[in-house]
Copies of this chain bind each other. A is one copy, B any other.
Amino acid sequence: MPNEAVSTQVSGTEPAIQPLSRRERVREATLVEIKDIARRHLVEHGPGGVSLRAIARDMGMTAPGLYRYFSSLDDLLLSLSADFFTELSMAVRTANDALPERDVDGRLLSSLRAFRTWALANRAEFTLLFGPSHPHRSCQHESVAIEAGRHFAATFLTLFDELLQQHRVSLPPEDDISPELSRQLRAFAEHAGFTTENASDGALRVLVGCWVRLYGLVCMEVFQHMEFAMDTMEALFEAELSDILSSAGVEYRSPR
C-alpha cells in the first residue's frame, strides 16, 4: 500500500503534507479546472448561465463525466460559493493586515472598503454569495458554503470585537432595544459564533446595524439599481461609510 493518502490528515484545513497519489493529483487538477471554467462562465453569463454541458464542452469531455466530481450543478455552484467566501475573506484580511495592528479604525475602514472593492470586481460571484437564495434549497446544511460563510463572518466579527475591547463604541440606550430584538440579537450572536463577554445587546445592535447598511449599499451598487443615475457610487459609499462607522465610534478617514 504505497502512497497512502488522506488517512491521517489534520482536518479540512490542510492535507498535512502531500502524500497524494498520482490518481489524486490528477483528480484534484481536473477539479480545479472545472471550477475555473465554471467561474468563467459565471462571470460571462451570470448565475443561471452556468451549465455542465458547456463546461464539459470547454474541457473536451462530456457532461456526465462531471458527475464524478459534483453530484449536481447545484453542488458545483455551492462549491464555488465556498471558494468565493474564502477568497473574499482573504481580500478583507489582506486589507486589514496592511495596517499596523493598533490602528483599529484604519483597519476597519480598510476592511469595509475591501469588501466593496471585491464585490465590484466580482459582481457575479458576489451575487452568488449575497443575492437571492434559491427558493427550494433552503438555507439548510449546504455544509461547504455555509461553513465558509461563517468563516467570512468571523473575519468581521473579530475586527468588531477588537473595537469593543477599546471602550470607544458609544452604545445606544438600553431601553431602545425591545425584548424581542434583544432575543433575536442574542440568537444571531450565538449562531454566528460571537460569544464574547463584550457583546452586550447594545453592541450587537450597533454591529448588525452597520452590517445591514454596508450590505444594502454594496447590493445596490452591484445589482446596479442606481445605474440609471449614477455611473459609480464611490462617493456615496464613502459618505455612507463615514456615517456607518461614526455610529460605531470609529473616526472616518478618506482613502489614500
B-chain residues with CB within 8 Å of residue A227 when the two chains form the complex = 133, 138-139
Given B183, B228, B240, which contacts A212 in the complex, CB threshold below 8 Å?
B240
A144 adjacent to chain B (CB < 8 Å): no
* A235-B46 in contact (CB<8A): no
B-chain residues with CB within 8 Å of residue A228 when the two chains form the complex = 139, 146, 191
A187 adjacent to chain B (CB < 8 Å): yes
| Identity of the chain B residue whose Cβ is nearest the Cβ of A222 in the assembled complex | B132
Given B131, B188, B209, B233, which contacts A131 in the complex, CB threshold below 8 Å?
B131
Distance in angstroms between the alpha carbons of A12 and B48 in the assembled complex: 34
* A240-B191 in contact (CB<8A): no
A99 adjacent to chain B (CB < 8 Å): no
The main secondary structure of chain A at its interface with chain B is helix
Which of A132, A136, A191 gathers most chain B CB within 10 Å? A132
A127 adjacent to chain B (CB < 8 Å): yes
A224 adjacent to chain B (CB < 8 Å): yes
Distance in angstroms between the alpha carbons of A176 and B226 in the assembled complex: 21
A69 to chain B, nearest CB (A): 24
B-chain residues with CB within 8 Å of residue A187 when the two chains form the complex = 229-230
| Identity of the chain B residue whose Cβ is nearest the Cβ of A186 in the assembled complex | B229
A180 adjacent to chain B (CB < 8 Å): yes
User: Which 8 residue pairs spanning A and B have beta carbons closest together?
Assistant: A216-B216, A46-B135, A181-B235, A191-B229, A188-B229, A180-B235, A127-B132, A184-B230
